[in-house]
Amino acid sequence: MSKIGIFYGSSTGSTSEVAQRLGKALGAEANLYDVASVDASEVAGFDVLLLGSSTWGIGDLQDDWEDFLPKLAEQNLAGKKVALFGCGDADSYPDSFCEALAKLKEGLQSTGCTFIGAYEPEGYSYDATETEQDGKLIGLCLDEANQSDLTDERIEKWVALLQSEL
């Protein structure tokens, strides 16, 4: 079984709650860390990293990631599998829904990690987003403000996808 580290940034608590739900869905092998209070070197002990951020403004990372992402990019991520998750608002920001995930991916693109967890964007309502690449969402995108009734189902499907990719 792969050792999974869930690292998240959360300002209002939504992404923290999603991280906890993902940890529970993945079972005992998942460990949770708030990027506001953890050293980036903690990633060394994990085979799989789930990285979560809420999206602010027009596609911005959650504040704690601004300091943590460059430090994470300096770590040896070669051979690690990385899956992205986050919260956004597709109604108010249909042109930048969950774009913090794209910023995370961009920041880690050259680290030697392998990104997993991309899936078809069925059932979503946004106009465009950098988080959709090659016709797929690059990670789990949740809209807790407008579609919280779909969160459990989306988490369940995404966790099943991740488990098939591990």
Q: Domain-by-domain residue ranges, the chain?
A: 4-165
Average pLDDT rounded to a whole number, residues 4-28: 92
pLDDT of res. 28: 65
Percent of the chain with pLDDT over 90: 87
Q: What is the pTM of this model?
A: 0.95
Cα 137-131-162 angle, rounded to 5 deg: 40
- The three-state secondary structure class of 9 is strand
Going by pLDDT thresholds of 50, 70 and 90, the confidence category of residue 156 is: very high
- The three-state secondary structure class of 50 is strand
**pLDDT of 79 above 80:** yes
Residues 6+ apart with CB under 8 A from 123: 150
Percent of the chain with pLDDT over 70: 98
Specify the CATH number of the domain 4-165: 3.40.50.360
- The three-state secondary structure class of 46 is coil
* Cα distance between residue 151 and residue 156, in whole Å: 9
Find tokens 């995930």 and name the residue: 101
